[in-house]
Amino acid sequence: MIPLIEAVDVSKRFAAGLGREGTLALAGLSLAIHAEKPSVIAVVGESGSGKTTLARLLLGLAEPSGGEIRYRGRDLKRLDRDERRAFRHDVQAVFQDPYGVYNPFYRVDHVLTTPLRCFRLAQTRAHARQLIGEALRSVGLQPEEILGRFPHQLSGGQRQRVMVARALLLKPKLIVADEPVSMVDASLRATILGSLRQLTDEHGISILYITHDLATAYQVSDSILVLYRAHLAEAGAVERVVTAPRHPYTQLLVSAIPRAHATADWLEQEDDPRRNGLSPTAAGCCFAERCPIASPACVAAPPGLYRTEPHRAVACVQYRDHPSLPPGDPEPVLSA
């Protein structure tokens, strides 16, 4: 089957101008999202890991410096008018900031009626009202409490759910959600993530959930990709990756999550970069300088990607005895 959206060895480098090297935001990553197998895929990493770049590339908001993004097998850059329209219909976005995405002068109805008009989804006004009502109700909002209001009259959580409802109106195949809950309260996070999860379970919509929060990723997603400084560190079934991380970076991330049941040494395990005395090289593993178990071999050559289990791939030399996969392409373990 041809995937709905496919990233084929995509990389992105932001130019610095005048012969300077620029910043590598994403190094050769491959990922396929299949419409017939809806799931939630989490992309996790710290700021600067390249996760938002990946989202922008998949949404067609940025062009890759290398590799291709394909929509139903066609390079995104070469879509004709109708295909581009279909792409815009099938792939929707929910962004981080539920305050910045609204025009304060329009009622919130505007963000809901615009897509209906652009894609001619409603035949009559009554039909449009009905579609909007259904979409709002399926994210747990009451239409009468929302419609006719201005953005400032809604809470952050309500606004973010209206954005999810907007995405849902178009009955897309994929929603790219870039940090959808990082600006809302802990108590509301669960509700919004619950509505996202429902879209997959009940409406068959795949979700790419981009976050720095491993704990929520664990709760809502099926599989996970962990990125570190533009490179894939670990990928696979979320259950395995989060409960028994194998890459030293994933292990660091998991140990840094503050748990409700106090662990005596949470504050003491301060991670001190550059303690191991290895100086990073462009050729070696990008995590080497922070890695507690790094050896000189780590800075000499980039780590391969090894399939440690059927449902997991790790980019770390300590697993070199396992079968290797093409670098940056965890597809076999995600689709297995």
Partner 1 sequence: MSEPILRVERLRVGFDHPQGVVQAVDDVSFALAPGERFGLAGESGSGKSTLALAMLRMIKPPGRIAAGEVWLAGRRLADLDEEGIRALRLAGIALVPQGSMNSLNPVLRIGRQITDAFADHGQRLGRDEQQRRVSALLTAVGLSENVSRMYPHELSGGMKQRACIAIAISLRPKVIIADEPTSALDVVVQRQVMATLARVQRDLGAAVILIGHDIGLMAQFVDRLGVMYAGRLVEVAPMGEIITNPRHPYTRALIAALPSLERRGALAGIPGLAPLLRNLPPGCAFHPRCPQATDRCRIEKPMARDVGGAQVACHLA
Does 47 interact with partner 1 (rule: CB under 8 A)? yes
Residue in 12, 159, 189, 231 binding partner 1, rule: CB under 8 A: 189
Does 153 interact with partner 1 (rule: CB under 8 A)? no
> Between 21 and 270, whose beta carbon lies closer to partner 1?
270
Residue 43 amino acid letter: V
Tell me which residues in 84-103 interact with partner 1 (CB under 8 A).
none
Q: Is 48 left (phi over 0), alpha (psi -120 to 50) or beta?
A: left
Triad 91, 235, 219: Cα angle to 5°: 70
> Between 69 and 252, whose beta carbon lies closer to partner 1?
252
Can you tell me the distance from the alpha carbon of 90 to that of 111, in angstroms, rounded to the nearest whole number?
A: 17
> Between 75 and 145, whose beta carbon lies closer to partner 1?
145
Residue in 33, 147, 176, 193 binding partner 1, rule: CB under 8 A: 193
Minimal distance, residue 86 CB to partner 1, in Å? 34
Can you tell me the distance from the alpha carbon of 52 to that of 35, in angstroms, rounded to the nearest whole number?
A: 22
Q: Which of 301, 331, 324, 328 is nearest to 67 (CA)?
A: 328
Tell me which residues in 208-227 interact with partner 1 (CB under 8 A).
212-216, 218-220
Return the biggest CA–CA distance within the chain: 68
Binding part of the chain for partner 1, among 11-19, 60-68, 88-96, 188-196 by CB under 8 A, reads 188-196
Triad 205, 228, 308: Cα angle to 5°: 75
Binding pattern for the stretch 251-270 against partner 1, x by CB under 8 A and - elsewhere: -xxx-xxxxxxxx--xxxxx
Binding part of the chain for partner 1, among 21-29, 128-136, 153-161, 305-313 by CB under 8 A, reads 153-161
Residue in 155, 279, 295, 335 binding partner 1, rule: CB under 8 A: 155
Q: Taken in order 70, 72, 78, 82, is the CA torsion positive or negative? A: negative
Minimal distance, residue 264 CB to partner 1, in Å? 10
Residue in 73, 148, 194, 204 binding partner 1, rule: CB under 8 A: 194
User: How many amino acids of this chain bind partner 1 (CB under 8 A)?
Assistant: 44
Does 156 interact with partner 1 (rule: CB under 8 A)? yes
Q: Which of 148, 159, 158 is nearest to 113 (CA)?
A: 148
Minimal distance, residue 190 CB to partner 1, in Å? 4
Binding pattern for the stretch 280-319 against partner 1, x by CB under 8 A and - elsewhere: ----------------------------------------
Question: Across the beta sheet with 40-44, what order do the strands follow?
Answer: 91-94, 174-178, 206-211, 40-44, 223-228, 231-237, 312-314, 305-309, 324-325
Buried-state track 90-109, b at ≥16 Cβ within 10 A, e below 16: bbbbbbbbbeebbeeeebbb
Q: Which of 329, 299, 301, 302 is nearest to 313 (CA)?
A: 329
Inter-axis angle of helices 109-118 and 156-169, nearest 10: 10
> Between 123 and 187, whose beta carbon lies closer to partner 1?
187
Minimal distance, residue 336 CB to partner 1, in Å? 20
Residue 227 is encoded by which pair of tokens? 């990125």
Q: Which residues bind partner 1 (CB under 8 A)?
A: 46-47, 155-158, 185-194, 212-216, 218-220, 239, 242-243, 252-254, 256-263, 266-271
